Structure 1
Amino acid sequence: MKIILKWGILSLITIAAVFLLSNISKAFILEAPDLLRINLSSESTNEEVVSQLPGSTIVDASRHIFSVPYGRVDDYGKLAINLPGVFLPRTVPVEKPEISFRYYLFSLKDLLHDYSHGELGLIRTGNYVIQVKSIVTETIIRTCTYFIPGLITGVLLSVLLSLLASIRSAIGRLLDSVHAVLSGLPDFLLIILIQLMSIYLTRLTGRNVILVAHYGNNIPFTIPFLAISLIPGVLIYGTLRLAIEREMTQDYITTALAKGLSQREVIFRHVIRNIMEDLLMVLPKATTLALASMAVAEAMCDILGLGGYIVSSRVQNISATPIFCIVLVILAILFHITYALLSKLFVVQIKESA
């Protein structure tokens, strides 16, 4: 019960921290949160506008600047545009950009109020405005179609290669050299190399072998899949290679070899069981790295997935970024909880007794 409570508290703290950080831009004020400038025709006056906008006052009659309730500039602009003789309501820029914790907290309160009523934010693409709640499920499914297979493939492949490298020394030297090269490559450069390979294959074969970018209903799979598999796989391979080398120097390995067991038998009977803890310890970090790689791949392939909606130049995230960030965090938390449960099942806990 205590462990469940601890996981719950840590998860809530993490989600809250991501929510606060993803909205940090709202703490920087470039426009006055309580001033509205309205262009008026000759048929309307400032006094008439004030009489029809409750809570507003005239600040500068010559420039038609009005004071409105704090943080309600957009709402009052929408009200003002429907008044006779009023056109082009605008915000009023501040003289110098400033940091306002009051406006930050006010914006967070508004967001939480919207979330509690099912309003998860808006995305604007071209002349269209999309409700986040109408696409969030589809977006999660789209991302998971290559994230989960890619992560599982990366884990299995790195485990198998690390074992093979330990059994066959020649193969081990080759794989260690490849690992050293891949470890030094940034994830975006690796994705670019995969894209270039895809382009060259297309030119050589005359067919679209690997889809490079998202268009219409055609969504790239191979490039994000490879990025998600390779980048965390490099981390897992290196960790397990060191773990296997550590285990091979232990006394029980020497005893087993002296009894006539081959190196392969020792690795499969004893070493695998003893490096399970190392694998489960590195998996959370590898999963976080896979999520970051997924977001980079979606950005570079222009895929509108969980990461793509955050960084894509095709859309304007009016208020959608916090939700997609929170979904990514929840996905990571679910994987971390899974690893913790697996650790309880497969790792032997040794406690000293008094």
Structure 2
Amino acid sequence: MKSTLRWVLLGLFTLVCIFFLSNIRNAFISTQPDQIKIMVGSGSTLQAISEKLPGSQVLDEKAGLLTVPYGKVWDYLGKIMAVKGVFRAAAVPLDHPTISWRYYGYSIKEQLQGFLHGDFGKFRSPFNRTEVTVVQELPTMLLRTCTYFIPGLLMAVGVSLLLAMLSAKWRRIGVFMDGVHALLVGLPDFFLIVLIQLGAIYATKFLGHYVLLIVQVGNKTPFLIPFLTIALIPSVTIYGTMRVAISRELGQDYVVTAQAKGLTRSEVLISHVLRNVMQDLLAILPKATTLALASMAVAEAICGIFGLGGFITSPTVQSVSSMSVICMTLALVAMAFHVLYALLRRRFVIRTGEAVSQ
């Protein structure tokens, strides 16, 4: 019970940290958070316009400066442009960008108040430029991401485990796979994703007709590129771990005994070694899942996919209040997989210890 409570508190602490970190950009401001510069027509005055905007005051009639409640500049800009007699209105730029912890705290407070009232943020759709609530679009984005994230992760686990077993059985395959593994470890993830995308483009050109979807077009989402990306990058980590674990087990006394009794190398690998390296596999899966999520975000950004990862990396859909919700959703997805791995460890990993005499 104490262990469960500790992990729950750790998960809540992680979500709180992600919430604050996902809003850190609000601490960097380039405009005055409480001033607006207005150009009025000849038939109106700044004071008359201020009287129509509750909470505003004239700061400098000659310069056309108006003060508004702190942090409400963009709300008041929308209201000002609807007032008759206003020719132009804009936020007042700072001499240079600065860090404002006051504005950061204000934005955090505004978001928390919105969350309490059921407002989890809005953004403009990249397809029709309409304003959409996060709650409305979040299930679609999550489903779109899972269509290639879960199959890609399962493929990474299956392929890496199979290759590690084959490398342990046949020496030549092991030498070749170890060389490929060393090469892939040295290449940046972004470079691998670009290579996959270029391969898809050249395959389409070589065959002379449309073969693979490179970027998202409307509701048509690329599958192969993010799928291969998610499957490739985590499999490099899993293969390396399983290769070491299997080599370790092959040197144990029980393997020598089993082979002395007439069991073949394949029988030893499948019947004994595979079961004993399951703990190593379940130990590396949390890290592999985190790598898969990072790869998914990069792949969605490159392919222009409107999923969870594409949202947090695309400047066309980012908004102040919805960014933290998407980031916390990604964290919850990762936590769900970690809980699954913990349950699998309790189910498949045999715990041993010394007996305590009474």
Aligned to 1:108: 108
2:38–2:64 CA contact under 8 A, matched in 1 = yes
Aligned to 1:293: 295
Aligned partners of 1:286, 1:48: CA distance in 2, in Å? 62
Instruction: Please list, as runs of the form range in 1=range in 2, the aligned pairs for 1:142-157 lying within 5 A after superposition.
Output: 142-157=144-159
- 1:325 Cα deviation from its structure 2 partner: 1.4
Partner of residue 184 from structure 1, selected from 160, 183, 186: 186
Q: 1:268 to 1:19 in 2, by over 3 A?
A: same
Aligned partners of 2:87, 2:322: CA distance in 1, in Å? 29
Aligned to 1:323: 325
Aligned partners of 2:92, 2:304: CA distance in 1, in Å? 35
Q: Does 1:67 align with 2:67?
A: yes
Over residues 114-168 of structure 1, what are the superposed CA-to-partner deviations in whole Å (9 max), with x where a residue is unaligned?
Answer: 2233322232337433332221111110010000011011101111111111112
Aligned partners of 2:156, 2:140: CA distance in 1, in Å? 24
Partner of residue 270 from structure 1, selected from 252, 269, 272: 272
- 1:6 Cα deviation from its structure 2 partner: 1.8
Aligned to 1:254: 256
Instruction: Please list, as runs of the form range in 1=range in 2, the aligned pairs for 1:154-165 lying within 5 A after superposition.
Output: 154-165=156-167
Q: 1:210 to 1:81 in 2, by over 3 A?
A: closer
Aligned to 1:23: 23
Q: 1:327 to 1:94 in 2, by over 3 A?
A: same
In percent, how many aligned pairs have the same letter? 49
- 1:42 Cα deviation from its structure 2 partner: 2.2
Aligned to 2:225: 223
* Aligned-residue CA RMSD (Å): 1.9
Q: 1:106 to 1:314 in 2, by over 3 A?
A: closer
Aligned to 2:206: 204
Aligned partners of 2:179, 2:337: CA distance in 1, in Å? 30
Aligned partners of 1:77, 1:211: CA distance in 2, in Å? 41
Bigger CA drift: 249-258 or 104-113? 249-258
SS of the equivalent of 2:308 reads coil
Q: Which stretches in structure 2 are left out of the alignment for 5+ residues?
A: none
- 1:207 Cα deviation from its structure 2 partner: 2.6
1:37–1:91 CA contact under 8 A, matched in 2 = yes
- 1:23 Cα deviation from its structure 2 partner: 0.8
Aligned to 1:234: 236
- 1:182 Cα deviation from its structure 2 partner: 1.8
- 1:316 Cα deviation from its structure 2 partner: 4.9
Question: TM-score, structure 1 length as denominator?
Answer: 0.94
- 1:196 Cα deviation from its structure 2 partner: 2.1
Q: 1:210 to 1:75 in 2, by over 3 A?
A: closer
2:197–2:225 CA contact under 8 A, matched in 1 = yes
Q: What is the one-letter code of the residue matched to 2:252?
A: Q
SS of the equivalent of 1:239 reads helix
1:40–1:85 CA contact under 8 A, matched in 2 = yes
Q: 1:164 to 1:127 in 2, by over 3 A?
A: closer
Q: What is the one-letter code of the residue matched to 2:152?
A: G
- 1:314 Cα deviation from its structure 2 partner: 4.7
Q: Does 1:168 align with 2:155?
A: no
Aligned to 2:344: 342
- 1:78 Cα deviation from its structure 2 partner: 2.7
Bigger CA drift: 308-317 or 14-23? 308-317
Aligned partners of 1:39, 1:264: CA distance in 2, in Å? 82
Q: What is the one-letter code of the residue matched to 1:143?
A: T
Aligned to 2:122: 122
Q: 1:151 to 1:43 in 2, by over 3 A?
A: same
1:228–1:293 CA contact under 8 A, matched in 2 = yes
Q: Which stretches in structure 1 are left out of the alignment for 5+ residues?
A: none
2:23–2:320 CA contact under 8 A, matched in 1 = no
Aligned to 1:55: 55
Bigger CA drift: 53-62 or 297-306? 53-62
Aligned partners of 1:196, 1:15: CA distance in 2, in Å? 37
